[in-house]
Structure 1
Amino acid sequence: MTPLDLDSLAHRYRTGSACPADVAEEVLGRIAARGDDHVWITLRPAADLLGDAAALALRWPDPNSRPSLYGVPFAVKDNVDVAGLPTTAACPDYAYVPDRSAPLVDRLLEAGALLVGKTNLDQFATGLSGTRSPYGACESPLVPGLISGGSSSGSAVAVGAGLVTFAIGTDTAGSGRVPAALTGTVGVKPSRGLVSTLGVVPACASLDCPSVFARSVADGLAVLSVIAGQEPADPWSRVLPLPSPVPPAARPLRIGVPYSPEFFGDTAAAVAFEEAVRRLAGLGHRLVPVDLDPFLAAGRLLYDGPWLAERVAAVGDFVFRNPDRVHPVTLKVLSNGGDLSAVDAFEGLYRLRALRARTRQAWASMDVLAVPTVPTTYTVAEMLRDPIERNAVLGHYTTFTNLLDLAAISVPAGRTATGRPHGITLLGPAGSDELLAGPAAAFHALTGGPIAPPGRSSARTDELATHSGPSSARSDGPAAPSSPPPAWNDGSAASSSPPSAWNDEPVAPGGRTPGTQPVLAVVGAHRSGQPLHGELTALGATALGTALTAPLYRLYALNGGEVARPGLVRVTTGGVPVEVELYGLSPSALGALLTRIAPPLSLGTVRLDGGRTAHGFLCEAYATGEATDISRHGSWPDYLLSRASAPDPA
């Protein structure tokens, strides 16, 4: 499939190889090819979608004036208002047609994004499995028969299956992270109040957060930067640091890891998380053991405490007047919230305050907390047999997040030995949204980027083989693949003049040649013939030739330091392509190199021409204040040559 990531679409639009109407046609074709996958509750008519796409081209004919999300197809969870389209919250009899959109939708449309439709969810956003909807249960696009996770099930599958570039979900107990882990996508869960919840059907109004699903951390953060910002009319909105549209360069952090993580008998998931933790350490982070008990205790308050009554306050009038029109599991869950008293509410608030105080002690020793996104996975059939207890298992590592006022990003971590998707979540205090994006992007790149979904299978859930999860006697689990899945090739299309070393193996997102090792883009002092090149040869780096970056950067000659070096800075406007050298090296060597990089440089993800990515040396923007902009030279060696050939001053 043609990549739909932001950089690839921008490249196609900028070069004139596609227009928004072409992309809209591609999206409609992909949706039709998947058939009845239960992803959509309302799809916009093709004529309306194509009409909007044509209008974008007329409104912004000049490529240099186009907004950040120009022609980018997206979907919205159907508990978020879009003017003129029904909002059902996955309950047909609850449906209404709003005359105005949620502010976050208005922001996306004003940024040029192209709305495709509204997606399925666990009814009233109450559930983490994706199986509590009268519109059908979504399955993971990665493993037939596996749940997609919820409640933002349709949004996650729409992105994971390559139907849209990004999708909006919501997250109260983990609905923006659990589906991300099960569909191989990135789930960005902002700080509470960073994105307005006006126009969102509440689940727990004091905890609800709109969220973003994307194929990469960079795309997720770019979308978050558009929808973030205080809304004066929103009582839950608050002033928080606005994240940059670009993930910051990676730097070593103190990352907390649970002393004794729980996987409910899923040994394959336990091994996968151990590998993820090793990768974090390999990136130069210092691991800090953390007692997770106060975090988990806070999470249990969401369904075992008075916050269940807040869900009843949101939709209880409709639910209890129309019990026969509500999903039976949703009705059972909400029925438990009607008997809670004001005393219960205050006792719950006091208990949460005490737990927050205990967790603050943990944050004194760490910058970021890393946990499995889900401890195990289930098939649709397994979930239907025990929908409430297994839902609690899915939320083991997610339900405490909003109660403790944390931001989070869920990132794919490959597959377990049984072929199930696995993911980790990085969490930080409110306002740390941009900080989290740095290590999340670096980790995602190190694992090879997005997981490839196979073609849709007609295999029935009850014919699939078992796996070594919590119940070893399963007869309805998806079969494990006989060999590891192929590397995802989204965004790996070759440039107009690719390096010869890549002719047969295009680089996949995350700077990894499929089936081999990570790729490093070198800008300056580590290039061949430069003073620090010996560090690369000592680490066993293999030369792969040269390439150009995407036209997203400026190059600066930095002041100071024992060795002359440039700084590559990503910019939102005025970027140029910059020549880099490419090297292959092992993950451990890449981690070792990270520990040697001195500020203001650090290791991040560099976008190459044609949509590819690689690890690379990036510079913090603050360091360019007294630096010389040398972008016109196109490369560090050409700049040095120009200095050497310049006439001596008289």
Structure 2
Amino acid sequence: MSKVKISTKLTFSWLRETYEKHQLTPEEVIEEIIKRSKQDEDMNIWITPPNMEHIKPYLERLSEIDFDSFPLWGIPFAIKDNIDLANVPTTAGCAEFSYIPTEHSTVVERLIEAGAIPVGKTNLDQFATGLVGTRSPYGETHNSLRPELISGGSSSGSAVSVARGQAAFALGTDTAGSGRVPAALNDLVGLKPSLGAWPTKGVVPACASLDCVTVFSHQLEDAYQVDAVARGLDQNDPWSRDLPVPLAKLPKKICLPKDSISFYGPYANEYQNAWNQTVEQLKKLPVSIEYIDYEFFREAAAILYDGPFVAERWAELGGFITNHPDVAFPVTEKVLRSGALPKYDAASVFHSLHKLQEFKRKTQILLKDAVLVTPTAGGTWTRDQVREDPVKTNSDMGLYTNHCNLLDLSAVAVQAGEADENLPFGITFFALTHEEGLIAGAAEAFVTKSKPKQRTIEIAVCGLHMRGFPLEKQMLQFGASFVREEVTAEKYQFIKLPTEPEKPGLIKKKTGGNTIELEIWDMPLSSLGEFAALIPAPLGIGKVELQDGTEVSGFICEGYAAEEAEDISGAGSWRRIPLNI
């Protein structure tokens, strides 16, 4: 039984904090993940779901490596099932295609080496061909917030696994937007590094020249922690490039489309309103805004599926499709077979490459020291609507994503509020390959600026959570800030609990008692429940009476604890107690 309630939003800082204080073990986290995956079984998140048999060797390794030296120690992650995890089937969403790799993909190997725990293989649009999350014989992956809506694809299961608390981060892939669209639809961050920044060795190709491995997480800083581990040249990967870890900095300008943005689907109006509000938020950043002609980005995007690049998918998978008729998901096979059409001849390839080179040069000039911002998606659809028109709905989802890899851009998708109740709205920052730090800096500034002002509550602390003590960092982690020093009413007994580490207890008396010095901190109300869940008995949060007769919420102690504790009331402050901590 774990000592704290395991959060449904698994962030790196929260996990490492609870591990470090021995309030939680990685085994307990994995047990909870397995439980959650079974509860969500009908959401079709997994192809190889979390199970202790596969995970146990990675848990056992943690005892052999140093917590402080391995940045992802004990962090659970999910893997899209077109990325190899040794000794676990890779299906790419097609059982007949399945094989069992003998080694990890390069990115998975690097993450495991850093201490991360792979928990399972996630569902996807078959052969990573789709942006909707419904093109899988393993079932349609449900949206994490509204099950009637699409989850986004092709990295559908990866995004939903994070959103549903079954992984702290997840690997996806991105050729046309699959690492960004599911982030937007499931209230997540989706980071797509530059082409080649993360090796693709051990990844089933969709379009090998455009494929990227990506990451989903709840927080921007978590995505970049993964990036720091996964990034780097792999000499055995012909597509790999030696690109440095980006250093976040603000761009000189933000580029926005000057022509009207198109929205679609049943929530088109809500998305339009959310975009308008987002533009106003962007204008508040300390960066100039420039409106640009967006048309050539649209032309570039059209080349991905309305041009010869679809033939690259056929080059990778045509042999399998030809030798296994009627095995592939119907709409997926239709898309793949279109790559064999006679119109996609060698001349059409070079015509598109020359056109793209023109677009790339325009992009390099336009986005020098700048970022482009668009909606991540212009809307969403119900799963029923996608089934009725699988091609048009899927095409719409790529309206603001398809151009990215063709133009050799980096991108990060972040949340920008809600379009409607339980309907998140997201935007994407784009930058040139060698200026990835600009999207990191711009996204960080936007996320910080756009956070709504939080309701707070005053919390009185009298021990290890005070300034200068070991648990001050926990107050900061939960967004609290120091307000003032205070003194209790002359009604309290102060005890030193026989715990490890030593900590105080504050007990209100009917008669007698002392005044005790304490600190008042301001904590976001939204953090209070999770913070209180970390507090071990006999301590808890209750009302503390101050010297002026007012009451504030704060740490109190149950009376029975005084029987085996040292009375330190005479000291009047935890700061006056010599401690062994």
Deviations 1:293-320 (A, max 9, x none): 1111001000001100001011111112
Q: Find the counterpart in structure 2 of residue 21 from structure 1.
A: 27
Q: Find the counterpart in structure 2 of residue 324 from structure 1.
A: 326
Alignment equivalent of 1:230, drawn from 223, 233, 238 = 233
**Residue 360 and residue 392 in structure 1: after superposition, are their counterparts in 2 closer, same or farther (change >3 A)?**
same
Q: Find the counterpart in structure 2 of residue 6 from structure 1.
A: 12
Alignment equivalent of 1:407, drawn from 397, 407, 410 = 410
Give, in whole Å, the separation in 2 of the partners of 1:135 and 1:187: 24
Alignment equivalent of 2:314, drawn from 287, 312, 328 = 312
Deviations 1:263-287 (A, max 9, x none): 1371211110111121122232211
Alignment equivalent of 1:342, drawn from 318, 340, 346 = 346
Q: Find the counterpart in structure 2 of residue 358 from structure 1.
A: 362
Alignment-mate amino acid for residue 35 of structure 2? G
**Residue 418 and residue 5 in structure 1: after superposition, are their counterparts in 2 closer, same or farther (change >3 A)?**
closer
2:43 aligned counterpart, secondary structure = coil
Report if the CA contact (8 A) 1:377-1:420 is conserved.
no
Give, in whole Å, the separation in 2 of the partners of 1:272 and 1:181: 13
Alignment-mate amino acid for residue 465 of structure 2? S
**Residue 84 and residue 252 in structure 1: after superposition, are their counterparts in 2 closer, same or farther (change >3 A)?**
closer
2:326 aligned counterpart, secondary structure = helix
Give, in whole Å, the separation in 2 of the partners of 1:51 and 1:213: 24
Give, in whole Å, the separation in 2 of the partners of 1:254 and 1:109: 38
Unpaired segments ≥5 residues, structure 1? 450-485, 500-505, 512-518, 522-542, 547-578, 585-608, 613-650
1:218 aligned counterpart, secondary structure = helix
Report if the CA contact (8 A) 1:252-1:283 is conserved.
no
Q: Find the counterpart in structure 1 of residue 59 from structure 2.
A: 53
Deviations 1:391-450 (A, max 9, x none): 11100000000000000000011211465221000000003333312221232234449x
Report if the CA contact (8 A) 2:191-2:223 is conserved.
yes
Alignment-mate amino acid for residue 425 of structure 1? T
Report if the CA contact (8 A) 1:142-1:421 is conserved.
no
Unpaired segments ≥5 residues, structure 2? 1-5, 468-473, 486-518, 525-530, 535-581
Give, in whole Å, the separation in 1 of the partners of 2:31 and 2:118: 13
Q: Find the counterpart in structure 2 of residue 243 from structure 1.
A: 246
Give, in whole Å, the separation in 2 of the partners of 1:416 and 1:84: 42
Give, in whole Å, the separation in 2 of the partners of 1:253 and 1:508: 31
Give, in whole Å, the separation in 2 of the partners of 1:258 and 1:545: 48
Give, in whole Å, the separation in 1 of the partners of 2:212 and 2:405: 8
Report if the CA contact (8 A) 2:264-2:380 is conserved.
no
Deviations 1:214-258 (A, max 9, x none): 0011000000110100001111111212236xxx3x646411111
Which 4+ runs in 1 deviate beyond 3 A? 62-65, 250-253, 445-449, 486-489, 494-499, 506-511, 543-546, 579-584, 609-612
Q: Find the counterpart in structure 1 of residue 434 from structure 2.
A: 431
Alignment-mate amino acid for residue 8 of structure 1? W
Give, in whole Å, the separation in 1 of the partners of 2:523 and 2:421: 32
Deviations 1:68-94 (A, max 9, x none): 000000010000011101110001100
TM-score, normalised to structure 2, is 0.76
Alignment of structure 1 residues 288-299 onto 2, 5 Å: 288-299=290-301
Give, in whole Å, the separation in 2 of the partners of 1:316 and 1:177: 27
Deviation at 1:322, TM superposition (A): 1.6
Alignment equivalent of 1:497, drawn from 465, 468, 473 = 465
Deviation at 1:115, TM superposition (A): 0.7
Q: Find the counterpart in structure 2 of residue 255 from structure 1.
A: 254
Give, in whole Å, the separation in 2 of the partners of 1:544 and 1:251: 31
Report if the CA contact (8 A) 2:131-2:181 is conserved.
yes
**Residue 16 and residue 370 in structure 1: after superposition, are their counterparts in 2 closer, same or farther (change >3 A)?**
same
1:416 aligned counterpart, secondary structure = strand
Give, in whole Å, the separation in 1 of the partners of 2:477 and 2:440: 16
TM-score, normalised to structure 1, is 0.68
1:313 aligned counterpart, secondary structure = helix
Alignment equivalent of 1:204, drawn from 200, 203, 207 = 207
Deviation at 1:610, TM superposition (A): 10
Give, in whole Å, the separation in 2 of the partners of 1:285 and 1:103: 37
Alignment equivalent of 1:34, drawn from 37, 40, 56 = 40
Give, in whole Å, the separation in 1 of the partners of 2:270 and 2:10: 32
Give, in whole Å, the separation in 1 of the partners of 2:104 and 2:23: 32
Alignment-mate amino acid for residue 254 of structure 1? K
Report if the CA contact (8 A) 2:251-2:371 is conserved.
no
Alignment equivalent of 1:385, drawn from 385, 388, 391 = 388
Give, in whole Å, the separation in 2 of the partners of 1:580 and 1:326: 62
Deviation at 1:325, TM superposition (A): 0.2
1:232 aligned counterpart, secondary structure = coil
Bigger CA radius of gyration: 2
**Residue 251 and residue 85 in structure 1: after superposition, are their counterparts in 2 closer, same or farther (change >3 A)?**
same
**Residue 419 and residue 22 in structure 1: after superposition, are their counterparts in 2 closer, same or farther (change >3 A)?**
closer
Deviation at 1:43, TM superposition (A): 2.2
C-alpha RMSD of the superposition: 3.1
Q: Find the counterpart in structure 2 of residue 646 from structure 1.
A: none
Alignment-mate amino acid for residue 387 of structure 1? P
Give, in whole Å, the separation in 1 of the partners of 2:152 and 2:533: 30
1:325 aligned counterpart, secondary structure = coil
Give, in whole Å, the separation in 2 of the partners of 1:68 and 1:50: 20
